[in-house]
Amino acid sequence: MESFQHFIVALVDHYGYLGLFVALVLGNVGAPVGSEIVLPVAGGLTATGHLNALWLTIAVAVAGELAGESIAYAVGRYGGVPAIERFGKYVGLHHQHLMKVHGFFERYGSFAIFVCRFLPFVRGVAGFPAGIAQMNLAHFYLWTLLGSAIFCAGMIGVGYAFGGHLDAIIPLLHRGGIAVVALAVVAIVVIALYVRARSRRRDTLSAEGE
């Protein structure tokens, strides 16, 4: 897996934005790309002038994620569970993973897609169960776009800030990336639950007032 991730980083280094786009497409159809490494590397390459502009790097990364998620959604929607169970093993997606993500969707609805953008591994396979569930496309793309924009901008921003010193923090990103992402997810879930609780309380007070 690590050799594949080195290949992906080299792809971005040699082919620039095209390599970045391909890497993010692969990462969102289940390939073990390691976005928590690729995105900061892209940010570092932008800071050193290898890639042209920060906004363009973020835009290409988000476009790659949307393209990959679109493919995954289509496979799930038109291939169904049999297609996932037949080919999912090639990208590490097994039946139990599918059921866990499906349960997550059942509990949180379409908002789960947004949360999935910050979860390691799950972010790369969430499109499949969303397609199987025939999730509303407008909701699917809205939450995917918002989550991907935040995640990509944040990780690319880290790489851009460190620039030429990125080699020194890559091991830390690799080891600590999951922890950082997990903290982000916890914060997002807490905020979502708080907003939902306030909304329900407001609805209750309005009903009592009537």
Residue pair 185/40 in contact (Cβ under 8 Å)? The answer is no
| 40 closest CA partner among 22, 61, 56, 63 | 61
Per-residue pLDDT band at 83 (split at 50, 70, 90): confident
Residue 194's pLDDT band (boundaries 50, 70, 90)? Answer: low
pTM (predicted TM-score): 0.76
Mean pLDDT lowest among 51-65, 95-109, 177-191 = 177-191
Q: Which residue has the higher pLDDT, 157 or 97?
A: 157
Query: How many angstroms separate the CA atoms of 94 and 73, rounded?
Result: 16
120: CB partners within 8 A, 6+ apart: 36, 177, 178, 181
| Among 28-32, 43-47, 197-201, the least confident range | 197-201
Q: What is the pLDDT of residue 22?
A: 93
Grade residue 128 by pLDDT with cuts at 50, 70 and 90: confident
The pLDDT value given to residue 154: 85
Residue with tokens 């025939």: 134
Q: How confident is the model at residue 140 (pLDDT cuts 50, 70, 90)?
A: very high
Give the containing element (helix H, strand E) for 48. none
Instruction: Supply φ then ψ for residue 32, to 5 degrees.
Output: -75, 65
Band of residue 210 on the pLDDT scale cut at 50, 70, 90: low
* DSSP labels, 97-121: HHHHHHHHHHHHTTHHHHHHTTSTT
Name the pLDDT band for 199 (thresholds 50, 70, 90).
Answer: low
- Quick one: tokens of 22? 């391909």
For residue 98, pLDDT beyond 80: no
Contact predicate 64/24, CB 8 Å: yes
Beta strand spans in 28-91 (E) = none
pLDDT for residue 37: 80
